[in-house]
Structure formats: structure tokens, C-alpha cells
Chain A
């Protein structure tokens, strides 16, 4: 046997390795089992109708909706083949037709939000899809789509970052993505290491923002406190301020 030089390998502690692997691949536990993402990825015998908001392609919510469609199609190519998408703008239709996970049936109906919602509602009633996914920027017109989905007994997954529209979606849908969740949903549906890294990046940035606000608020309070001779004087002034406000 020749004298081969073998580099000594240091085996990693199994627990540590497992923890590292889990950290690399799994998103935050609270988001992993999001009902909306689970509904998107669950096996279904019939087609789904995508309604990516009633705004143009320059709205980040529309981009997030298309990104979610791509992620869902990559995870479940068999189920997504028969899906259709109703576009609120010709550019959205062209973008949807050129998606990497090919979506053959993308149609444009109207760029007027109410006209678009009416067309989407009509299509839900006609085609009776098993799942209706209304994720994107919506106004009050989204309730028409939600009502049509309810009447057709289709499962409804809604999502919007419009704060005024969120309560209506929570009320009307089976599962709702609220606020930032629509931007995190594509990564949740993809479940790839890179997507997980993006999610972790979101969380880190949010923690940084919260910490900055907390530190700035504390510094403001301390600066105000320094202007008073004692803590008692500060609290007295604060109480007087609150009383005068009420």
C-alpha cells in the first residue's frame, strides 16, 4: 500500500450539524405552516384562477403576486398547468405569459379596477375553479371577487399590503396574507435555501428597524429627562400633559 497523505477530517458534532442544516433550510416556524401557502401547495384536482391585484406591473404587490405564481408552479407543476390568470393590465398579461413556469392561459380583460373585478367575478362564476387566488394591490372592488368565489364555493386565498383592504380580505377569505406576508409568501412557497436566506434577511432588517426605533425613542426620553432637575418633576410634567390632552 502506497503512503497516501490523507488530510485529517474533523467530524462535526452531530447535534451542531443538524442544527446548522435546519437553520439553513427552514424558514421561521410561525411562517412555515402559513395556511395560505399550504392552500396554494396542497394537491387539488381542479384548476385555480389567479387574480394578481388590479394594479399595473410597476406596483411591487403585482410583482410579488407573479413571483408567488412562479414559486407555486415550480413546487406543483402538475397542479399549476391548468391554472389561469386574469391580468389587470396588458403588461401583466405579457409578463405572466413569459413566466419561467409557463402559464398558458393569461388573459387581459380591463384596466379599470371595477371592470376588472366584474370580469374576474364573472369568470369565477362561469368556470367555478377549485381555488381562487387574489393576491396583490386591490381596492374595495376585491370584495366582488371574494363574493363570487364564496358563491361558487371556491376556496379563496387573498393577500394584500393595502392596510385599508386587509380587514375585508381577512373577513372574506379562507386564508389571508396580510402586509409583508405577500412579499414573504413566494419564498415560503419556494422553500429553497436562497429563498430562506431572503426570509432571514427580512427578519434581520425588521429587527434592525425595531431596534433603531426603540433606541431613538429611548434617547428622546432620556434627552427630555435631562432637562428636568429630578425624575419627580419630569413625571409631574408628563402627568400634567396627559391631563391637558384628555
Chain B
């Protein structure tokens, strides 16, 4: 019985996938028609369904962190902050706390949700972006140390691009245009790199486009079963 139910659900999912995929592809190929409009509506439905997935996502997040707090694992205090922030934001948004009436939009400055966004979320995100810049530099440094051989050609290319795109015509030791030959050489190298790079990028983009079409078709025709 369970087997038959699963098979029925799988068949229904296949029919929906193929039908929606056909509408979206047709809408993309024939813009402006009724099919394109239907494709837009279906995309909105997808967003609505995706919103329900956040319930499962929230459950997974809370479950994982609660387990960590319960076991007093390393970093459980961070987990406590995460769970606390999750519930506070959820309650502030779901019950529209602080709003004068239920019709007031969530983005109104009087709502707790907006206040939390402005006073906590935005500053924390800005600080994180700044810290991320430092973290990236260290990460790149670590990667470069581990794979010094691959770094050589990359640094050489970067040096060429830097030298060619920086106007260095300052007089050195009283000589006008002392660096002109070096700049001309870097410029020629940059042109050669740009030509080779453009060709390689186009080749990659052609391959990627074919790959995207292939994966999309495999999913739409249910040859690739991801659910």
C-alpha cells in the first residue's frame, strides 16, 4: 500500500514537473504571450511553496542547535544566541509586535521587526562584511602557501594587468618616461592575456550553457530523479 502511494506521489510529481517545465520553456521562447504570463504565475506559486520549506529549514536549524545546547558542546553559547535570535525575529515578524494595527506593513519604523533590522541586523551584517574581508585575505594567504606552484602564473597575470592598467609616467631620477618601455611591454602582455582570456572564457561559457541545458532537460524529463 505504502509502495503504491509513493509511486502515485512520484508520478504526480513527474507530471507537475514536466507540465510546469514545458510552460516555463515555452514562455521563455515566446515572450509576451499568455504562456509567458502563466509562467510568471507559476513562478509566484513556486515562491509560495518555497516559503513553506522555510518551516522545515527553521525546524532543522533549531533542532541542531538545541541538541548542541543540551549536550553543552563546544560553542553552545553561540548556539543559544542563534536560537534566541531566531525566535525573537520570528515572533516580532509573525505577530507584528509594536505595530499600531494589523494592516501596518512589517517595514514600518514602529514595528519591532524593523527596529531589530535597523539596530541589530544591519550593524552586525556590516561588521561581518568587514571581518569577512580580513578572513578572506588570510584564507587566500593560506591557500597560496599550500599551493605555491599554482600561484606563480596567477600572480604573473595579475602583475601584468596591474602594470598595464596603472598610468606610470612619473619622472624617475629626473628622466621623463623612464618606465615607458616597461609599461609598453606590460601593455602588450596584457593585450595578449586579454585575447587568450576572452577566447577561453567564451569556450567555457559555451560549455556551461550546454551543461545548463542538459541538466535542466534531464530534470524536466525526469531522467534525473532528484526527488
Binding site for B on A (CB under 8 A): 56, 58, 60, 63-64, 66-67, 70, 87, 89-91, 93-95, 98-100, 107-109, 111, 114, 122, 126, 140-141, 143-144, 146-147, 150-151, 161, 163, 167-168, 170-172, 178-180, 182-184, 186, 194, 198, 201-202, 205-206, 209-210
Contact = CB atoms under 8 A, between A and B. Distances in A.
Contacts of B205: 163
B56 A168 contact: no
Interface residues of B, number: 48
Contact of A60 (B60, B75, B212): B212
Nearest to B141: A147
Interface string B117-148: 00000000000110010011011101110110
State the main secondary structure of chain B at its contact with A. Answer: helix
A141 B140 CA distance: 11
A182 B218 CA distance: 15
Contacts of B74: 126
Closest 5 CB pairs of A and B: A183-B211, A90-B57, A180-B207, A147-B139, A90-B53
Interface stretch (B102-110, B164-172, B219-227): B219-227
Contacts of B150: 170-171
Contacts, number: 138
Contact of A180 (B140, B204, B223, B224): B204
B138 to A, nearest CB: 7
B154 interface: yes
Contacts of B142: 147, 150-151
Interface of B: 46, 50, 53-58, 60-61, 64, 74-75, 128-129, 132, 135-136, 138-140, 142-144, 146-147, 150-151, 154, 201, 204-208, 210-212, 214-216, 218-219, 223-227
Contacts of B207: 179-180, 202, 206
15 contacts: A56-B50, A63-B216, A63-B226, A67-B226, A91-B50, A93-B60, A95-B226, A108-B57, A144-B135, A144-B139, A171-B150, A180-B204, A182-B211, A198-B214, A202-B214
Contact of A100 (B50, B139, B206, B225): B225
Given A98-B226, A172-B139, A209-B206, 19 more contacts: A63-B216, A67-B226, A90-B60, A93-B60, A98-B227, A107-B64, A108-B61, A111-B57, A140-B136, A143-B143, A144-B136, A146-B139, A146-B143, A163-B201, A171-B147, A180-B204, A183-B214, A183-B215, A198-B218
